Chains A and B, each alone.
Chain A
């Protein structure tokens, strides 16, 4: 169990929990952040910039602050 903000680039993971206030929760879930969904980080912008996260068919960019609301389980790369 770790936070999305700590996930390494390219490592696959699944969402295990979303801990956000209601408004943020709604927005995240409308963009596809739901428990059990697989995701991975495509890239990170320089200077602590946002993450590009791929969830199925949607690419989303978000900051570390928001990513820290999302708990994930990592899978080993095989």
Chain B
């Protein structure tokens, strides 16, 4: 099978092109370092089936950060038939160096001058034909985002593939990679002859927006205000959708499922309806909020604002031994901790990577968001709800900062902080929809993997042995709850919540599903039942514990694989569990002492 690789500096649109050609949904974002691992898809090109590979961005073939190593390693271990080198046309004056490096390696290549749309707007003209002659490779101007010029580029790629040139010899490449070269002068020469650029280049819109968003004094307040508004938006728009779906799902149960199971044995209808259906339906009702959340998230990621956040927060982060990029990883963690952990590959110094990986699991991910929305709706007045939720985000930051401050002595580093500031961009509808759909799929995969098994287990634990009333102290669940009581009573967590917490260790999506099963209820009935059993102080303590303790097994596995150290993984688990307990204890006992 032919192998085609997409290669280029970070943030040049490789993943966008990859998605265009293959129809896959690799993550795209206006942040250098979105892709940190290989991703591949099968495509049909010129009658051949070929493997298309999306590589992480690489500044320099000789680069040594971990994401760049992925590329070096790939090229020195895999034969490739063609690389499509992408560069950002507006930055061709510096990015051409990578093209020349590839040429030196004698890899069959097509050069795609991407973002032709932006280059045109800023008055850059590139003589692609003559550049192609000098470079001895096809040069095409494209726009991966809008699809312009793609057919021609693919045609050029097809031609090379059909020539059946010998593929690269990984061993030779590995050798070349050791050597250094004098690409500098050659590059300047080419630019001087074939490219005209206005001497001072300013994207006026970006500059105007930055004058406000990066303002010396207002920059940070605007950032936090914007976050508050976004979460308020997600909550106010998402909540009615969730209520509607929950209502529809309960109608489905009483109208269709209950009659179907009316004549089956009690244990079967119990398992199917009170177990699986209640659990899964309660979780499924959150899908609209999650989709909405990721739509907003993908717009923020694609806007270029993340790099601005890095700029604004770097000084503060430096005091904790981290840098602005670490802050961006924390924000990405709001979606899911796993890609955020992998995103730390852009850091070169191991101590800084580890310190960042220690704080990321404390970032309030979308799965935890479900638990909080559920608990907040059950126990707080509607007008307080957004504020309570926001306070949990603040708490998430505080625990991350605290962790970094306490551990920075252990992870001293002198990592340089240099980051590109891309112009503001707005995602197309297609990009937004693709991302939203991708997250729904991700959610459904997790759901089918963990939630069904989880809720069945919870149902079994709360219904056996069968000679005691369901969910009573005599059941297995009750016994397990009693076992943990010495730890959990001081933080106000009863045995029902304890079972949910234990299963939450696997994945937070299970928590609300588990509660539905434990109480044998769904929707409004479930919420009012919980509100009768616990007060807001207990609920808050439960939420704080959920926020801080280990997010899920996938996160743990990622920590292990990214740090390549079980010791570090255990440290992370122990620290988050310990911190969760201490924070909940202080909150719960403090609130009780104050008379709440």
Q: Which residues of A contact B (CB under 8 A)?
A: 23-24, 26-32, 34, 43, 45-50, 52, 54, 56-63, 65-66
Contact = CB atoms under 8 A, between A and B. Distances in A.
Given A23-B64, A26-B59, A61 B184 contact: no
A59 B311 CA distance: 12
What interface size band does chain B fall in? 35 or more
B421 A30 contact: no
Contacts of A45: 214, 216, 219, 311-312, 314-315
Interface of B: 9, 59-60, 62-64, 90-91, 93-94, 97-98, 122, 124, 184, 197, 201-202, 210, 214, 216-217, 219, 307, 310-312, 314-316, 318, 324, 348, 416-422
Given A24-B416, A65-B416, A50 B214 contact: no
Given A46-B216, A61-B311, A27 B91 contact: no
Contact of B417 (A31, A52, A59, A62): A62
B97 A60 contact: no
B59 A31 contact: yes
Contact of A47 (B93, B94, B315, B422): B315
23 contacts: A26-B63, A27-B63, A30-B59, A31-B418, A45-B315, A47-B315, A47-B316, A49-B311, A49-B312, A50-B314, A50-B417, A54-B202, A56-B94, A56-B201, A57-B93, A58-B420, A59-B421, A60-B419, A61-B324, A61-B418, A61-B421, A63-B318, A63-B416
Nearest to A24: B416
Nearest to B90: A57
Contacts of B9: 30
B67 to A, nearest CB: 12
Nearest to B318: A63
A49 B310 contact: no
A63 B317 CA distance: 12
A63 B311 contact: no
A9 to B, nearest CB: 11
A50 B197 contact: no
Question: Which 4 pairs of residues, A with B, have the shortest CB-CB distance?
Answer: A49-B315, A30-B59, A59-B421, A32-B94
A37 to B, nearest CB: 9
Contacts of A27: 59-60, 63, 416, 418
A50 B201 contact: no
A4 to B, nearest CB: 12
B310 A61 contact: yes
Determine which residue in B307, B314, B348, B418 has the highest number of CB atoms from chain A within 10 A of its CB, and name it.
Answer: B418
Contacts of B219: 45-46
Contacts of B98: 30
A59 B420 contact: yes
B264 to A, nearest CB: 64
Contact of A61 (B64, B91, B197, B307): B307
A17 B311 CA distance: 25
A35 to B, nearest CB: 9
Contacts of A47: 315-316
